[in-house]
């Protein structure tokens, strides 16, 4: 069976294409962010798996939660979380529109196809499409040792040239890599670490 990321990809593309064509990219992104957080909640995910609850009821519950907790006038933890995700400490004072008919229909279709559990992956792919449309991509670089300024600049320029986009580097250190680094852009991973090379060698020797 295909993994969740692969299953989510066409839904995310369809969502972004519609949102981009209709000028509602941020509105859809906001909803998908909150919906992904809700679906990730263990109690809610268990509720979604209940076959006695209709698909329409499940999709309606997500929409109602967003409309009441984010699009409503009162402050809420969800609204604060959304504000923080946008880099604002005052997100609970911002105004968000209620879920549009088109977005309701999208969520309803996901529910009817028993795909609401894919929302976290749909959200990540959606963000990836948005970044590409803005010609900006996030590259997650994990290295055995902290990158030097020269290494960082080299990686950034190389990725920008190959991807034809502006690249934002996010760095982390993992000593278990031994040497080298891994680079993740979207769902693509480049493993140039010593650990990865040793694993490849082991696979070849035992094949």
Residue (of 14, 65, 40) closest to 121 by Cα position: 40
Q: Which two tokens stand for residue 179?
A: 């040497």
- Dihedral-angle region of residue 135 (phi above 0 means left; psi in -120 to 50 means alpha; beta otherwise): left
* pLDDT one-digit tens code per residue, 113-169: 999 999 999 999 999 898 888 777 788 999 988 988 888 888 888 888 887 777 888
104 and 8 housed in the same domain = yes
3-state secondary structure of 178: coil
70 and 20 housed in the same domain = yes
Decide which of 108, 131, 154 is a domain's last residue: 131
Residue-by-residue DSSP string for 140-165 = EEEESSPPPHHHHHHHHHHHHHHHTS
Q: What is the pLDDT of residue 89?
A: 43
59 and 94 housed in the same domain = yes
Kindly tell me the burial class for residue 134, based on how many C-beta atoms sit within 10 Å of its own C-beta (0-12, 13-18, 19 or more). exposed
Q: What is the pLDDT of residue 191?
A: 83
Q: What is the pLDDT of residue 14?
A: 95
Q: Are 84 and 92 in contact (CB under 8 A)?
A: no
30 and 116 housed in the same domain = yes
- Reply yes or no on whether the pLDDT at 94 is more than 90: no
108 and 82 housed in the same domain = yes
- Reply yes or no on whether the pLDDT at 1 is more than 60: no
H or E segment to which residue 133 belongs: helix 119-133
3-state secondary structure of 113: coil
- The pTM for the full model equals 0.64
Residue 69 sits at the vertex; the CA angle it makes with 65 and 70, to the nearest 5 degrees, is 105
- Beta strand spans in the chain (E): 136-143, 166-173, 181-185, 188-191
117 and 94 housed in the same domain = yes
Pairwise CA distance, residues 191 & 85, whole Å: 29
Q: What is the pLDDT of residue 202?
A: 61
* pLDDT one-digit tens code per residue, 171-198: 999 888 888 888 888 778 888 877 777 6
- Reply yes or no on whether the pLDDT at 59 is more than 70: yes
- Reply yes or no on whether the pLDDT at 206 is more than 50: yes
- Calculate the average pLDDT of the chain: 85
118 and 26 housed in the same domain = yes
Decide which of 78, 96, 131 is a domain's last residue: 131
Q: Which domain holds residue 60?
A: 4-131
3-state secondary structure of 82: helix
113 and 19 housed in the same domain = yes
Count CA atoms closer than 13 A to 14's CA, side-chain side: 12
148 and 55 housed in the same domain = no
Percentage above 90 pLDDT, the chain: 42
158 and 174 housed in the same domain = yes
72 and 106 housed in the same domain = yes
Mean pLDDT calculated for residue range 17-37: 93
* pLDDT one-digit tens code per residue, 73-82: 777 888 887 7
150 and 96 housed in the same domain = no
Pairing between β-strand 166-173 and β-strand 181-185 as defined by DSSP bridges: unpaired
Q: What is the pLDDT of residue 88?
A: 46
- Reply yes or no on whether the pLDDT at 207 is more than 60: no
Q: How many domains does the chain have?
A: 2
């Amino acid at each position: 069976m295909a993994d969740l990321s692969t299953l989510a990809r066409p839904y995310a593309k369809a969502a972004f294409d519609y949102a981009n064509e209709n000028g509602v990219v941020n509105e859809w992104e906001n909803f998908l962010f909150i919906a992904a957080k809700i679906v990730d909640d263990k109690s809610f995910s268990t509720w979604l798996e209940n076959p006695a609850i209709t698909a329409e009821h499940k999709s309606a519950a997500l929409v109602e939660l967003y409309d009441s907790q984010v699009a409503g006038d009162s402050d809420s933890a969800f609204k604060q979380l959304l504000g923080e995700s946008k880099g604002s400490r005052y997100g609970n004072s911002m105004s968000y529109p209620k879920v549009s008919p088109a977005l309701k229909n999208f969520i309803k279709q996901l529910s009817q196809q028993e795909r609401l559990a894919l929302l976290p992956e749909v959200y990540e792919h959606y963000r990836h499409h948005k970044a590409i449309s803005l010609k900006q991509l996030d590259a997650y670089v994990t290295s055995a040792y902290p990158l030097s300024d020269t290494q960082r600049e080299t990686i950034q320029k190389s990725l920008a040239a190959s991807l034809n986009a502006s690249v934002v580097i996010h760095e982390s250190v993992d000593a278990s890599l031994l040497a080298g680094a891994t680079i993740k852009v979207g769902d693509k991973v480049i493993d140039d670490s010593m650990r990865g090379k040793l694993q490849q060698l082991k696979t070849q020797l035992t094949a």
